[in-house]
């Protein structure tokens, strides 16, 4: 095993341990899917540093548990960047690798004042957003809606006029407010292309829900 493979394996174990109790929307499975997305994007962007991309994808949500515990007072991207840097240096990574990974972790958040600058940070940003789209994105949106006790579906009007965490905070509300805008916010061409493809599937899914609900009511 090469030193970089060994480092990757150690980080993977540490992240798995840390996210063991996380909720279904941001657990270790989410991290593994983001890693797979990041590898897929990096394969199409050969200038990217693969090691930085993979470590940053693994570590991007490392501080989710702290953010949850603090009920949102702590930012998991800012704290995660600090934790990632310290962990990597302690495990023998170079200062360059630790700093590049920390930058990508710091800037992965949607609607944050810190925007991704490096190609590696842009890839991790897009890889994370891809997990909110397509069939996986639908599954995650329904998991979240179930947790807050929301309805299965609602109309545009009901969804758009309702606050978050209400009974109207449906998967469809998440789609209207956030998910449908994600491909346009993506920062790499392969990210945008795949995001658009996944979004199309979601649109078809909601059209189909509408059709079934109206057929049942007749």
- Binding footprint of Fe ion on the chain (CB under 5 A): 61, 128
Closer CB to Fe ion, residue 18 or residue 153? 18
Q: How far is the CB of 177 from Fe ion (least distance, A)?
A: 17
Whole-angstrom CA distances from 154 to 8, 133, 158, 172, 176 are 44, 19, 6, 7, 11
Closer CB to Fe ion, residue 57 or residue 159? 57
Closer CB to Fe ion, residue 37 or residue 154? 37
Query: What is the helix (H) or strand (E) element at residue 160, kind and residue range?
Result: helix 156-160
Q: How far is the CB of 187 from Fe ion (least distance, A)?
A: 15
Q: How far apart (Å, rounded) are the C-alpha atoms in residues 26 and 152?
A: 21
Residue 84: closest CA among 112, 52, 109 = 52
Q: Rounded to 5 degrees, what angle do the CA atoms 104, 108, 113 make?
A: 105
Closer CB to Fe ion, residue 79 or residue 159? 79
Q: How far is the CB of 199 from Fe ion (least distance, A)?
A: 18
Q: How far is the CB of 92 from Fe ion (least distance, A)?
A: 26
């Amino acid at each position: 095993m090469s030193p970089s493979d060994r480092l990757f394996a150690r980080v993977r174990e540490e992240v798995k341990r840390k996210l063991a109790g996380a909720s279904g929307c941001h657990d270790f499975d989410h991290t593994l899917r983001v890693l797979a997305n990041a590898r897929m994007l990096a394969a199409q962007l050969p200038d990217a540093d693969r090691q930085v991309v993979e470590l940053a994808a693994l570590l991007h949500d490392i501080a989710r548990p702290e953010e949850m515990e603090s009920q949102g007072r702590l930012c998991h991207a800012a704290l995660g960047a600090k934790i990632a840097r310290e962990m990597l240096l302690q495990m023998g990574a170079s200062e360059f690798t630790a700093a590049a990974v920390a930058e990508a972790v710091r800037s992965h958040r949607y609607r944050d004042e810190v925007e991704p600058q490096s190609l590696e940070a842009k890839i991790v940003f897009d890889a994370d957003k891809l997990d909110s789209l397509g069939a996986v994105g639908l599954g995650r949106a329904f998991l979240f809606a179930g947790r807050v006790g929301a309805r299965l579906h609602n109309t545009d009007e009901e969804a758009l006029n309702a606050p978050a965490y209400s009974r109207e905070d449906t998967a469809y509300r998440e789609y209207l407010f956030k998910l449908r805008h994600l491909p346009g916010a993506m920062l790499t061409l392969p990210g945008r292309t795949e995001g658009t493809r996944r979004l199309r599937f979601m649109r078809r899914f909601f059209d189909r829900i509408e059709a079934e609900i109206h057929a049942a009511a007749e």
